[in-house]
Amino acid sequence: MFFSLERKIVLAFGITLAALGIMVGGAWFSLTRFHSTFEWVDHTHKVLYELEALLNRIQGVQIESQRYLISGDPACLDRWTRNRGLAHESFERLSSLTADNPAQTERVRQMLPLIEQTETLTRERHELRQQAGGQAAMAEASRGRVRTVVDDLTTRVQAAENDERALLASRTAVAQRAATLTLTLTILSSLLAASLAGIGLFLAIRDLNARHKAEAELDRFFTLTHDLLCIADFSGHFTRLNPAWTETFGFATEELMAKPYLDFVHPDDRERTQAQAARQAQGLEATSFENRYLCKDGTYRWLQWNARPVVPDRVIFATARDVTDRKRVEQIHLQFRSLFESLPGLYLVLTPRFKIVAVSDAYVKSAMTTRAALLEQDLFEAFPDNPDDSAATGVVNLRASLERVLETGATDTMAVQKYDVRRPDGTYEERFWSPINSPVFGADRQVEYIIHRVEDVTDFVRQKTREGAVPDLQSRLNLMEAEIFKNSHQLQAANQQLQAVNGELEAFSYSVSHDLRAPLRHIDGFANLLTKHAAGSFDEKSRRYVEVISEAARKMGRLIDDLLSFSRMGRVQMKHSLVDQNDLVASVIRDGRFDRPERPIEWHIAPLPTVSGDAALLRQVWSNLIGNAVKYSGRVPAPRIEIGTQPAATPGEQVFFIRDNGAGFDMRYVEKLFGVFQRLHSEAEFEGTGIGLANVRRIVTRHRGRVWAEGSPEAGAVFYFSLPVPDHAPANS
């Protein structure tokens, strides 16, 4: 707000005082005005009185004179003189009274000659009486000269009186106007002052309310927060605590404030806390100071402090946070780290960027270096290849292995590596290692760390390369192990070669599938066109010849398809999962639509166990076997097909069978049954290329199972295949 609360209050008071001042001033002003009005009234009355008095006295003069004229009494003369004197007195007083008003002054001045004339005339009459007697005087008097003067005077006096009254009226009016003005001003200024004061008061009250609200809010925060808030004084006591203290420590607020706060600090932390308090008394702020405080139940909790002293007031304002849990986690971290480092094996922990973040003591020793030299280093900068060995493959192989771990998320075992180690003096020592790299997954299921574990097999390898006698069993054993280690290297190379060959085979079969089919299609196509074109001119034989050509082309097409699919069976990546055989068999039968209305098949299907394998490939197996069973029962009036399991000869296997009552086969040729393109029946008897069972055998073999069969001519056949029980199934093939 523009003005602070204090200013507003001062302003309100100021305005009120100013208003009061105005009112007082106005009142004073009015009063003086009224006062002068009273004076004026007084003055006017005095003037009027004197005018009357004057007139009276002059009339007295006149009357006494007349009396004298009539009576000749000297007492009248005395009174005449007295009146005359008094008239003069009145005149004098009048003159001074009207001195302020020029008009009145003039008027009064003009009365003087008349007054004197009256005196003179009456005196003349007196003298006349004294000299000529009363009658003569009376005759003179009847001329009325005195009366004229007196009348004139009377008129003037009345005029003066009127004037004086008029003056009074006007002065009164002026005074009244002044009073009205003053009153109006006073009222207006009062109103203005009142409203300004009122506004000021309103704003001040609003400010006060806002302040109250803010205080209430702060108060609420203070009470609600789980953080520990407090005020402490320099004497070492708490002076104010929020409820969070009681919640955290169990002591009541009064208990905490009753004793010095050091009493609640852990004995080991007291010295530090005191030192900290001393620093704060000098005005230093404290952030992130930690110490332990006692709980009511006797345990201690770690607090992290932020404190700010206010030195002039000799208090400290502080907040503290309970960091006991974080401390505990930190301690666990430290414990695990020392545990890891003391492990007997040679371990490195790497980030996905191959930075070393932890290393076991044994590894440090074996690498002839220090932990400090390894931590936070890039793996390959810390362990470069031996520069003198131009055929060194350690770095490139290790890097490849680590990349594989990152890509597949699986452990990668490396073949024995020659990876020379640098001695402290800079020379290199020949070493052989057997490394295993495994991933550690983070919360987001991504590889967070890689653990690189090695075994130093230098001695074994050296032993292997040493020609000559191997005296005892132990050394022979060592020798064989070394042999294995060395061969794994070759195995890896062979694996890579195999993958390359597979790729070539893939390209080959693609080419075959595309390029071989086209000419076949043309053969069949044009053979047909030829027949159509010739139509009439072809005889039976010609037509038959052409048909043979077509059929041969078609047959070749089928052979190509079968060959391609057989090849694919062997190459395709197996995807292992748990396969419900019941669902699979039911689906194959349903999709095969083997049942014909005129020749329904009697199915006997026992419940089949779930197996571990590639669902698509297993489907092929069942499809081929069931398809064969149906096909070879084609000539039997009541075909019967039975599917089930039977107990296994070897443990860890499950055996499945499918029995039909169809054409069967001669057991003498059972070896050929599963061969590629081998058939025991002619194409005329039953169609087919002879690839189906070869596929079955190939798939079952890839599942680590076996196939075999029994049969007799015209009496049906049974085909068996085994699959490993799920527990024993390998993760990858």
Nearest distance from C-beta of residue 571 to other proteins, angstroms: 12
Given the rule CB under 8 A, which of 13-21, 524-532, 583-591, 603-611 is the region that contacts other proteins? 524-532
Nearest distance from C-beta of residue 421 to other proteins, angstroms: 47
Closer CB to other proteins, 420 or 524, in the complex: 524
Given the rule CB under 8 A, which of 64-72, 266-274, 473-481, 527-535 is the region that contacts other proteins? 527-535
Place of tokens 């009074």: 168
Q: Which residue spans within 341-481 are E strands per DSSP?
A: 346-350, 356-359, 412-413, 417-418, 421-422, 428-429, 432-441, 447-456
Strands 640-646 and 602-605, by their bridges, are parallel
Backbone angles phi, psi at 344, to 5 degrees: -70, -25
Closer CB to other proteins, 517 or 631, in the complex: 517
Tokens linked to 165: 């009254």
Nearest distance from C-beta of residue 545 to other proteins, angstroms: 16
Closer CB to other proteins, 518 or 684, in the complex: 518
Q: Is residue 529 part of the contact set for other proteins (CB under 8 A)? A: yes
Q: Is residue 522 part of the contact set for other proteins (CB under 8 A)? A: yes
Q: Is residue 514 part of the contact set for other proteins (CB under 8 A)? A: yes
Closer CB to other proteins, 488 or 509, in the complex: 509
**496-534 in b/e burial notation, b at 16+ Cβ within 10 A?**
eeeeeeeeeeeeebeeeeeebeeebeebbeebeebbeee
Residue 55 carries which DSSP code?
A: H
Nearest distance from C-beta of residue 575 to other proteins, angstroms: 15
Closer CB to other proteins, 195 or 542, in the complex: 542
Backbone angles phi, psi at 425, to 5 degrees: -85, 0
Nearest distance from C-beta of residue 554 to other proteins, angstroms: 5
Q: CA 590 to CA 101: how far, in whole Å?
A: 143
Picking from 681, 684, 642, 690, the residue whose alpha carbon sits closest to that of residue 663 is 681
Q: What is the footprint of other proteins within residues 422-461 (CB under 8 A)? A: none
Nearest distance from C-beta of residue 560 to other proteins, angstroms: 8
Nearest distance from C-beta of residue 689 to other proteins, angstroms: 14
Closer CB to other proteins, 132 or 529, in the complex: 529
Backbone angles phi, psi at 632, to 5 degrees: -75, -5
Closer CB to other proteins, 215 or 551, in the complex: 551
Which one among 244, 392, 520, 629 touches other proteins, defined by CB under 8 A?
A: 520
Taking the alpha carbons of 544, 546, 550, 555 in that order, is the dihedral positive or negative? positive
Q: CA 178 to CA 185: how far, in whole Å?
A: 10
Instruction: Give residues with Cβ within 8 angstroms of 597, minimum separation 6.
Output: none
Closer CB to other proteins, 442 or 519, in the complex: 519
> Coil, strand or helix: which one is 673?
coil
Backbone angles phi, psi at 674, to 5 degrees: -95, 10
Q: Long-range contacts: 23-28, Cβ < 8 Å, 24+?
A: 23/186, 23/189, 23/190, 26/182, 26/183, 26/185, 26/186, 26/189, 27/182, 27/186
Closer CB to other proteins, 352 or 557, in the complex: 557
Which one among 221, 336, 510, 669 touches other proteins, defined by CB under 8 A?
A: 510
Binding map of other proteins across residues 542-571, x = CB under 8 A, - = no contact: --------x--xx-xx--------------
Nearest distance from C-beta of residue 556 to other proteins, angstroms: 8
Q: CA 9 to CA 4: how far, in whole Å?
A: 9
Alpha-carbon distance values, 201 to 8, 12, 19, 216 (Å): 8, 7, 15, 22
Q: How many of the chain's residues bind other proteins (CB under 8 A)?
A: 20
Given the rule CB under 8 A, which of 38-46, 221-229, 526-534, 647-655 is the region that contacts other proteins? 526-534
Nearest distance from C-beta of residue 573 to other proteins, angstroms: 13
**Helix%, strand%, coil% for the chain, nearest 5:** 60, 15, 25
Which one among 518, 535, 649, 684 touches other proteins, defined by CB under 8 A?
A: 518
Q: Long-range contacts: 246-254, Cβ < 8 Å, 24+?
A: 248/295, 248/301, 248/322, 249/293, 249/294, 249/295, 249/296, 249/301, 250/295, 250/296, 250/297, 251/295, 251/296
Q: Is residue 525 part of the contact set for other proteins (CB under 8 A)? A: yes
Nearest distance from C-beta of residue 552 to other proteins, angstroms: 11
Nearest distance from C-beta of residue 525 to other proteins, angstroms: 4
Tokens linked to 684: 């005329």
Backbone angles phi, psi at 220, to 5 degrees: -65, -45
Which one among 521, 604, 635, 672 touches other proteins, defined by CB under 8 A?
A: 521
Nearest distance from C-beta of residue 532 to other proteins, angstroms: 9
Given the rule CB under 8 A, which of 31-39, 144-152, 518-526, 724-732 is the region that contacts other proteins? 518-526
Closer CB to other proteins, 286 or 523, in the complex: 523
Q: Is residue 528 part of the contact set for other proteins (CB under 8 A)? A: yes
Backbone angles phi, psi at 332, to 5 degrees: -60, -45
Q: Is residue 527 part of the contact set for other proteins (CB under 8 A)? A: yes
Q: Which residues share a beta bridge with 714? A: none
Burial, 253: exposed, middle or buried (Cβ in 10 Å; 0-12, 13-18, 19+)? middle
Q: Is residue 513 part of the contact set for other proteins (CB under 8 A)? A: yes
Closer CB to other proteins, 147 or 554, in the complex: 554
Residue 264 carries which DSSP code?
A: G
Given the rule CB under 8 A, which of 248-256, 453-461, 510-518, 686-694 is the region that contacts other proteins? 510-518
Binding map of other proteins across residues 461-500, x = CB under 8 A, - = no contact: ----------------------------------------
Given the rule CB under 8 A, which of 188-196, 217-225, 424-432, 514-522 is the region that contacts other proteins? 514-522
Tokens linked to 559: 């052979």
Nearest distance from C-beta of residue 619 to other proteins, angstroms: 17
Neighbouring CB atoms inside 10 A of 369's CB total: 18
Q: Which residues bind other proteins (CB under 8 A)?
A: 510, 513-515, 517-518, 520-522, 524-529, 550, 553-554, 556-557
